[in-house]
Structure 1
Amino acid sequence: MLSFFRGASRGAAAFLAISITAGPLFAAGDSIRFARDQAEGTVVTVQGVVSVPSGAFAPNDEGFAIQKGDSGIYIHDALGGSYALGQKVVVTGAVANSYGQVLGIQPTAIAVTGSHPVHPAKPIDTGDVGEGSEGTLVRIQGTVVDDVFDDGAYGYRFHVDDGSGEVTVFVYTGTGIDVSGVALGDEVEITGFSGQFLDHYEVNPRVASDIEEVSGCD
């Protein structure tokens, strides 16, 4: 499962110790899905297109996400690189969990191999954002059901419901997205990364255009 921990009040970011296996594992057909099925500590090589740029989820995490087809995964990058939407990359590193929840890869090597259009976000009901969509780009449309909550240095959150069940939208400070125009009762379309925080699922926008007014916004 993929989630993020924001600040001491919401759980300090920490990764469990991992044991590195000898030699990276790689599945040419769907390396990301293959990696997601491996045990923590397994060294894998994955390839995909950057779907979340480096630093978008700062200050919580400076990493990025990649996707290939309908499989995606987060790269907890501490190597100091910067990767942009649409870059094709090959990443080698260890599958890791934080607090037994954050599934991602701690990379030891990252190589840019070209460019490719970012995979389109999959339209999904708000109530269906969950394990099956984790790590990929999704698009939801519905009503904002509460006021935007200021989560300090980490960003802002609100909830959207299309009638199938509400889902959290968390906008990280690193995106630079202005949420001042979002209000209770607005009809919005949200594109973002399907993730998880503690016991609930989230959609995490990446750029300003990921939040669009459908109607009812001034």
Structure 2
Amino acid sequence: MHRSALFAVLAIVAAAACPAHAQDPRITPLSQARAQGVGATVVVEGVVSVPPGVFDGGFAIQDQTGGIWVMAPADPVQLRVGQRVLVRGTLDEPNGQLAIQPSAIGPLGDRDAPSPRAVRTGALGETDEGWLVRVQGRVAAEVVDDAPWGWKVMVDDGSGPVLVFVDAESNVDVRPFRVGDTVEVIGFAGQYDDHYEVVPRAQVDIRVLPPTPNASALTRN
């Protein structure tokens, strides 16, 4: 389909603010789209959880069933957190993370910004990939400089450590991460090769929590 024709289709779907829109056979819930596997062509709708320009030109969307990363389009797009968007594209899996290589993007109206899902640090896995998540635990080791890509921080709530990857493009200051401190981190749940990670979007996604009497229990298995 020619790109101009595809955008016309997206515009028609976007204008259909009625129950039939939710039943449009061209739109697949994200959980079902993810299950189709690499190489499948999908049309999905979601709310932006990570806008373009935070990590690269790509962005993340999620609906009530799942989330996914959308790779940087050929033509840059301006999107806001909470904005609904239609995406048509092909599923790919760069560095082990399922993503959509978009062929067309149709911005829609706004929704409330998506709320992060609480996840235990030791439980982050494939079912969380693509979602905006929140983890809380103690900083288990010194920050590792992974230049030029960013920094690696291990956070553990007692269920096992999770990697918090601070992307250099996000301009997040890693100095709040001090060994032994309890932190709360909101971020995109992604995968890189054989491990899963939480990637904060901005400084407000990191919060150092006050000590609690049972804080030492967080490090026990």
Shorter-chain TM-score category? 0.7 to 0.9
| Pairing of 1:184-199 with structure 2 (within 5 A) | 184-199=179-194
Backbone CA RMSD of aligned residues = 1.6
1:90 to 63, 83, 86: 86
Q: Which runs of 5+ in 1 are unaligned?
A: 1-24
- Give the aligned partner of residue 34 of structure 1: 32
AA aligned opposite 1:146: A
The equivalent residue for 2:137 is: 142
Alignment-mate amino acid for residue 34 of structure 2: R
Q: Structure 1 counterpart of 2:132, which letter? A: L
TM-aligned CA deviation for residue 196 of structure 1: 1.2
C-alpha separation in 2, matches of 1:32 and 1:70 = 6
The Cα of 1:181 is off from its aligned counterpart by: 2.3
Alignment CA distance shift 1:206-1:174 (3 Å): same
Task: Provide, for residues 97-122 of structure 1, a one-character-per-residue CA deviation record: whole Å limited to 9, x for no partner.
Answer: 225x2211000100111111122111
Q: What TM-score do the two structures reach when normalised by structure 2?
A: 0.80
| Cα distance in 2, alignment partners of residues 48 and 67 from structure 1 | 5
Matching residue's letter, 2:98: L
Shift of 1:143: 0.3
CA distance in 2, matches of 1:38, 1:50: 21
8 Å contact from structure 1 (residues 26, 44) kept in 2: no
3-state SS of paired residue (1:174): helix
Task: Tell me which of the two structures has the higher relative contact order, counting C-alpha pairs closer than 8 angstroms and 6 or more residues apart.
Answer: 1
Are the structure 2 counterparts of residues 127 and 163 from structure 1 closer, same or farther at C-alpha, using a change threshold of 3 Å? same
Runs of 4+ in 1 over 3 A off after TM superposition: 25-28
Q: Distance in 2 between matches of 1:41 and 1:55?
A: 26
Distance across 2 between alignment mates of 1:138 and 1:97: 21
| SS at structure 2 position matched to 1:36 | helix
* Kept after mapping to 2: 8 A contact 1:54/1:64: yes
Identity of aligned residues (%): 42
Residue 42 of structure 2 corresponds to 44
For 1:151-176, what per-residue CA distance to the aligned partner results, in whole angstroms no more than 9, with x for missing partners?
A: 11211111000000000000111211
Query: Which residue is 1:131 aligned to?
Result: 126
Question: Which structure dedicates a bigger proportion of its chain to helix?
Answer: 2
| Change beyond 3 A, Cα 1:39–1:199 | closer
How far is the alpha carbon of 1:26 from its aligned partner? 5.2
Matching of residue 107 in structure 1 with residue 68 in structure 2: no
The CA distance in 1 between the partners of 2:210 and 2:173, in whole Å, is: 18
Corresponding letter in the other structure for 2:61: I
Q: 1-side partners of 2:208 and 2:129: how far apart? A: 25
User: Which amino acid in the other structure matches residue 184 of structure 1?
Assistant: V
Structure showing greater radius of gyration is 2
What is the number of equivalent residue pairs in this alignment? 187
